[in-house]
Amino acid sequence: MLVRACAERVVPEIEVSAWVIDDTGIPKVGSHSPGVKRQYSGTLGKVDSCQITVSLHAAGSRGTAPLGWALYLPEEWCGDGPRREKAKIPEGVTFKTKPQLATALAAQAADWEIPRAPILADQAYGDDTAFRTGLHDLKLTYLVAVSPQLGVFEPGTGFNRLLKKSPA
């Protein structure tokens, strides 16, 4: 794979300090390009007709290098057979959330011969428990933003439950 070959050559040279996950909106008009719909795009700063891609990049003091990217395919695209066929979306492609796509990109890059670095991501990813668990399971370090409503606990925190006895 070309992306892997480039990453394995370039990433060691950029003094990587982080892997960065983000998504990007690509303005698109019409309904025939895969994944196009009216959706929020942080890139555009509003809801508009666009495609969304999820990407993973290595960032270092000497530059950046792409580690992978994936097209976000909204659920309505996944369930519309004729539309999928017209857009040439393979049958095996199923709906995945942006955090699921990002986890898959991180898992792929973790298997390469490149320096690992903490993964950085915004709240859209950090609030997703499955995303954080996936990174943990891959033994990847991460630093992600979370919303104020999300509970965060120190490593090693124990939770004791009080068991109520039924009245006799």
Backbone angles phi, psi at 8, to 5 degrees: -65, -25
Domains and CATH numbers, the chain: 2-144 (3.30.420)
> CB–CB of 58/19 below 8 Å?
yes
Please check the confidence at residue 71 and state whether its pLDDT lies above 90: yes
Q: What is the mean pLDDT of residues 130-138?
A: 96
Please check the confidence at residue 6 and state whether its pLDDT lies above 80: yes
How much is the pLDDT for 161? 58
Q: What's the CA gap between 157 and 168, in Å, rounded?
A: 34
How much is the pLDDT for 165? 55
Task: Look at residue 101 and give its three-state secondary structure.
Answer: helix
- What's the pTM? 0.87
* pLDDT single digits (tens) 8-37: 999 999 999 999 999 999 999 887 889 999
Beta bridge partners of 51: 26
